Amino acid sequence: MSKANVLEWSIEKLSKSIKNKEISPVEVTQATLDLIDKDETNSFITVMEEDALQNAKQAEKDILKGNYKGPLHGISIGIKDLIHIAGYKTTFGSETYKDFVPEIDAEVIRRLKESGAIIVGKLNMHNFAYGTTGDRSYYGPVKNPHNLQKIAGASSSGSGAAVASYQCFGSVGSDTGGSVRMPASMCGIVGMKPTFGRVSKNGSLPLCWTLDHLGPMTRNVIDNALMLNVLSGFDSKDPYSINVIKEDFTESIDADIKGKKIGIPTNFYFDILDPAVEKIFNICIDNLRHLGAEIIPIEIPGMDDLLIAQQIITVAESFTSMEKHLIKHPEMIEEEVRSRVIPGLNIQASEYIKMLQVRNKTIDLHNQLFEKIDVIMTPTLATLPTDIEQRDVEINGSKEHVRIFAKLTGPSNTTGAPAISVPGGTSESGLPVGIQFIGKHLDESNLYRIAYALEQTGVYQSELSASVRV
């Protein structure tokens, strides 16, 4: 078997070769580290070279002895730098945490290590995970691998850029208002925000306790499902963790979608939309219709109220999580982030409680909607990636702040529903456009099935190429 371009292989393909002893995890890990060393995207904060190579050697020994642990065994994975890895800095992309070294692994790290995955390093991110662009990190901006002048999306910016540029085969990001799906869309990869509580947050630094999710980021849909198989599961140490039957998310992932009911919103999601995004979105609708899916226009109730609730909950909880840092060392929090958090000081408890009630009401309304449809389909983002440091963007003659990137992703954080971004196509300017599917709670398998069907239509082909050969 030719090993050329091995860094461009899928997890699914590479894992089979590793299992069959056709390729060594040590070779792959070394090639990964060599490429990281040449990185132009500023994706990594900490590279765990010594540990990665040592673990790759151990993986090779285990596999040669017949102790194969599963599809992630020997696979290089990157971790967003708000997730604890014992003995390594967890910086939150900030000066505040630049010297913080946890002593215990996060639950998702424990699961990855148990699966035999090779963790190659900690990934750059927007300061305190509070932003949509990824260019406000203490360690410098993350650059989009499709155009180094453009943002990679946030806050899991390094997680998106590293996967897209072949510096790891998958990554774990966090998503509070779209922070997995925004960089997935901008970098042309797949990003899943699972149902709230599906993946443990134990051992990750919080921004907003009731909105934060952890989720996998990969280059294709099957790889994403393989990662979620490992990451998901009940954890008694996470108060928000849900105890449900363990699933194999790859089961029936390639099944026919004929007759699946896909809801296209008639309100909120298309109020402001770049024509380049709309063009690709419409092509994707046609492709799914051609596969036999039923396209149904739907009106989603309560969206304006949900948007307000999301904003107030985010500000209130982020202020609470950052309060001690605001009091002790406000100058160490990036200015733009600080200005967004401080208004939380003035939010009354009664107002916060009312917004939680709005959230619960909206969840009920969404559940009623899912009795008539299987998934909701929207663009992931309203427009294409902007320039680094750019803060305003014009869409159809309307001037918008870059916070608009979170408008279409944020609602599912507030409801806790699973949502996935999958590449839908490439704009004429060469920038990726993501398509978002939103499902009912605990229906990730259905999202993967429809996302996989869209992926197989071949509307998206990455032009990036790994420069390191094995």
* Residues with catalytic function: 80, 155, 179
Contact 176, 212 (CB under 8 A): yes
Residue 438: which H helix or E strand, with range? strand 432-438
* Other beta carbons within 10 Å of 243: 9
Q: Within its chain, how far is the Cα of 305 from the centroid?
A: 25
Which DSSP letter does residue 67 get? -
In this structure, the strands spanning 118-123 and 44-47 are: antiparallel
Sequential DSSP letters for 283-320: HHHHHHHHTTPEEEEE--TTHHHHHHHHHHHHHHHHHH
DSSP lists the bridge partners of residue 199 as: 232
Return the C-alpha torsion angle 8, 107, 410, 457, nearest 10.
30
**CA-to-CA dists, residue 216 to 132, 400, 419, 452, angstroms:** 18, 29, 12, 15
**Gyration radius of the chain's alpha carbons:** 21
Contact 88, 101 (CB under 8 A): yes
Give the CA angle between residues 315, 317, 321 to the nearest 5°. 115
* Rounded distance between C-alpha atoms, residue 309 and residue 358, angstroms: 7
* Rounded distance between C-alpha atoms, residue 308 and residue 359, angstroms: 10
HSE, CB side, 13 Å, CA atoms: give it for residue 267: 8
Q: Within its chain, how far is the Cα of 13 from the centroid?
A: 22
**Residues 6+ away with beta carbon under 8 Å from 270:** 278
* Rounded distance between C-alpha atoms, residue 305 and residue 296, angstroms: 24
- By C-alpha distance, which of 191, 311, 195 is closest to 243? 195
Note if the bond before 155 is cis, omega within 30 degrees.
yes
